[in-house]
Structure 1
Amino acid sequence: MTLTTVRIASILLGGCLAASVFSVPVFAIGDNNSTMPTCKKGEIYDQKTKKCVKQQSANVSDENRTDYAYSLAKDGRYEEALAMLDTVKDQNTAEVLNYRGYATRKLGRTDEGISYYLKSVKMDPQYAKVREYLGEAYVIKGQLDLAKDQLNTIKAICGTSCEEYQDLNAAILDPSKI
C-alpha cells in the first residue's frame, strides 16, 4: 500500500467511527431536560428493561414513574400524567409537585398549577425547572413582574445560558411561546 492509500483509509475509518459515535440514540433519563419514550395507555416505560410494560404489573421506582409522568405531560397526555403521578408513593417531592403543576396548568387550571409549583419551590428553592414553569404560569395570568422575579432567580441558579432561563425569557417576551 502506498502512503496515500493508508492516509485515505485512515481518514475514512476515522470518519466512520465518528459517525457511529454521533448516530447512537442517547436517553438522558432522570434529568429535567429530557423525556423518555412514551407508551400506549395503560403501559409505562421501564428504564431498567428499556421497554414498555403493563402499568399494573410494573415494578418500577417512584423516580421512574415521576420521569414517565413528565414524558407523558410533555407529549400532551396531561390526564395520563396526573394519573401516573398518583401512583408515586412519595407525593411530597419537588419533582412530583412540579410535574403535577405542569400538567394541571396545561389543562387550563393555572391557579392549581401555581399552588403545586409554590410547594415545590418550598421544597427545593434551587430547582430551576419549577421556577421556569412558575414564571410561565405568571405570564399566563399577566403577572409579568412575578414572572421576571422567577427569571432573576433562575439567572442566579444557572445563569442566562441555561434552558430554563432562555425558555422563560422567551415566554416573557412573547407569551404565545407558552
Structure 2
Amino acid sequence: MRLSYLAFAFAVLPAAAFCAGSDDPAPPKPTETTTVCADGLVWDLATKSCMSPADSTNDDNARLNDVRELAYAGYYQAALDVLDTLDNPAAPFALTYYGFAHRKAGRIDLGMAYYDAALAADPDNLLARSYMGQGFVASGDMVQAQVQLTEIRMRGGRDTWPELALAQAIATGVGTTY
C-alpha cells in the first residue's frame, strides 16, 4: 500500500511542486507580469502598470512573487533581473532563487555556487539542498545528490516537498521543471 501511495505521490508531484522557494505547493497563478507585460517588465502593484523591475515600487515580497512566476514560466533571465532589484539580494531565499534561475538557464556552475552561498547563509535551507541535489542529478552525480537528500532528512525535511522532489529526481534521473 505504501508503495502505491509513493508512486501516486511521485506521479502528481510535478503538478504540486514548489517553484524556487515559495511556501505554496501549487504552481503560481499567472498575473499581469506574465499575461500583460512585455518581456522584461513586471506588473507594479501601486501604479497598476507594467514597468521595469528597477522602476517598480513593489516590495521584496511582491518581487519574489514575480521571480517565482517568471521562473515557473521559464523566463529565467527576467527572474534574475527582478532578483537584482531586491533590497536584500543576499537573503538565503534570494540566493536560492538565483541558483535556480542560473541552473535552469544552463549556467550550472554558477547556479551551484549560489546554492553554496544560500547554504552557507542557512544550512537548514531545504529548498536550496533539494535544488542543488537536482542539479547533481542532472549532471549525473548521484552520490552528491544522495548526500543532499540525506541532509534534508537529517535536518527535519522528511515528507516535505524538498525531500520528495529530490527523491523523485534520484529515482527517475529527472528533476522538477520548477
Q: 2:95 aligns with which of 85, 94, 97?
A: 97
Pair 1:54-2:51 in alignment: yes
Q: 1:125 aligns with which of 123, 126, 129?
A: 123
Structure 2 Cα separation of the partners of residues 93 and 36 of structure 1: 24
Q: How many residues are aligned here?
A: 149
- Alignment TM-score, normalising by the size of structure 1: 0.73
Deviates more, 1:157-166 or 1:78-87: 157-166
Which residue pairs with 2:75 in the alignment? 77
Residues 111 and 77 (structure 1), Cα distance of their counterparts in 2 relative to 1, 3 Å cut: same
Structure 1 Cα separation of the partners of residues 40 and 78 of structure 2: 9
Deviates more, 1:114-123 or 1:136-145: 136-145
Does the aligned pair in 1 maintain the 2:71–2:101 contact within 8 Å?
Answer: yes
Structure 1 Cα separation of the partners of residues 109 and 24 of structure 2: 22
Q: Secondary structure at the match of 2:149?
A: helix
Structure 1 Cα separation of the partners of residues 121 and 171 of structure 2: 29
Q: Secondary structure at the match of 1:67?
A: helix
User: Matches of residues 26-65 of structure 1 in structure 2 within 5 Å?
Assistant: 31=23, 33=25, 35=28, 37-38=30-31, 39=33, 40=37, 41-45=39-43, 53-55=50-52, 57-65=55-63
Which residue pairs with 1:167 in the alignment? 165
Residues 54 and 81 (structure 1), Cα distance of their counterparts in 2 relative to 1, 3 Å cut: same
Q: Shift of residue 32 of structure 1?
A: 6.2
Residue ranges of structure 2 left out of the alignment (5+ in a row): 1-20
Pair 1:146-2:144 in alignment: yes
Residue ranges of structure 1 left out of the alignment (5+ in a row): 1-28
Q: Shift of residue 139 of structure 1?
A: 1.0
Q: Shift of residue 84 of structure 1?
A: 0.9
Structure 2 Cα separation of the partners of residues 131 and 177 of structure 1: 13
Structure 2 Cα separation of the partners of residues 30 and 160 of structure 1: 18
Does the aligned pair in 2 maintain the 1:43–1:52 contact within 8 Å?
Answer: no
Name the amino acid aligned to 1:61.
Answer: D
| Structural RMSD (CA) | 2.5
- Alignment TM-score, normalising by the size of structure 2: 0.73
Does the aligned pair in 2 maintain the 1:66–1:85 contact within 8 Å?
Answer: yes
User: Matches of residues 105-116 of structure 1 in structure 2 within 5 Å?
Assistant: 105-116=103-114
Q: Which runs of 4+ in 1 moved over 6 A?
A: none
Greater relative contact order (Cα < 8 A, sep 6+): 2
